[in-house]
Amino acid sequence: ILNVEQSPQSLHVQEGDSTNFTCSFPSSNFYALHWYRWETAKSPEALFVMTLNGDEKKKGRISATLNTKEGYSYLYIKGSQPEDSATYLCAYGSSNTGKLIFGQGTTLQVKP
Amino acid sequence: NAGVMQNPRHLVRRRGQEARLRCSPMKGHSHVYWYRQLPEEGLKFMVYLQKENIIDESGMPKERFSAEFPKEGPSILRIQQVVRGDSAAYFCASSPLRTSGKVVGEQFFGPGTRLTVL
């Protein structure tokens, strides 16, 4: 059974704090690791797709790193803002069919 | 450029009825994926389709569930003889035609269909 674990399950921070989440996935048969941002009542929105060990991606204040050998990825948010409040999902692709296995997500609440 | 469209957004069915969920992928996308989110659970892969072909249905329940993506028209997820345990949010995602040997591109999600079985 392929398992994707995310931690913490939820996080409450103050505006301006920097924060990071972890995604653990099987290190075998790795194809891709996706990060999605999911706001309440909206659709999941892709943040990053990473495929190579050591990949680092950045979009504004959000960045992600990938270690395929040990099976983990970190998502960092620098200077959190209330609009960053959402659930952050990671998803592991283990085949070339595009099938993704999602973690349970980390729910972030940023207080003004 | 319209995003992924799903309809209906909300669907109520009584036990034993059929549910049909529709998904129109983004323009130019030929890969469609269906995911299910049961209450208090995460997104679970159900099926991956290309036009007129089921590529990976390893996440589909063995009975009562079927999916298609015809040459023309939307992808359909069909649930026959629904039971209360089918109540969930069903999400469709699409991605463009892969240009290399791997399908690793991001998937674009629709707003979901919330199915309630009474």
For testing contact with chain A, the best of B102, B108, B114 (most A CBs within 10 A): B102
Residue B82 contacts residue B75 (beta carbons within 8 Å): no
- Per-residue confidence of chain B (118 residues) as pLDDT tens digits? 579 999 999 999 999 999 999 999 999 888 999 999 998 888 999 999 998 899 999 999 999 999 999 999 999 999 999 999 999 999 999 988 665 555 557 899 999 999 999 9
Residue of A nearest to B111 (CA): A43
**Cα–Cα distance list, B39 to A22, A38, A65, A76, B72 (Å):** 23, 16, 30, 28, 33
Closest by Cα among B80, B66, B91, B92 to B117: B80
Q: How many A×B Cβ pairs under 8 Å?
A: 67
Query: Do B35 and A102 make contact, defined as CB atoms within 8 angstroms?
Result: yes
Residue A29 contacts residue A74 (beta carbons within 8 Å): no
- Per-residue confidence of chain A (112 residues) as pLDDT tens digits? 568 999 999 999 999 999 999 999 998 888 899 999 999 888 999 999 998 999 999 999 999 999 999 999 999 999 999 999 999 999 998 776 778 999 999 999 999 9
- pLDDT of A41 reads 85
Query: Which residue numbers of A have CB closer than 8 Å to B's CBs?
Result: 31-32, 34, 36, 42-46, 49, 51, 89, 91, 93, 95-105
Residue A24 contacts residue A5 (beta carbons within 8 Å): yes
* Residue B68 neighbours by CB under 8 Å, 6+ apart: B49, B54, B75, B76, B78
- Name the strand (E) or helix (H) holding B41: none
Name residue, tokens 């009825």. Answer: B17
**Cα–Cα distance list, B11 to A22, A86, A112, B68, B112 (Å):** 35, 26, 37, 19, 11
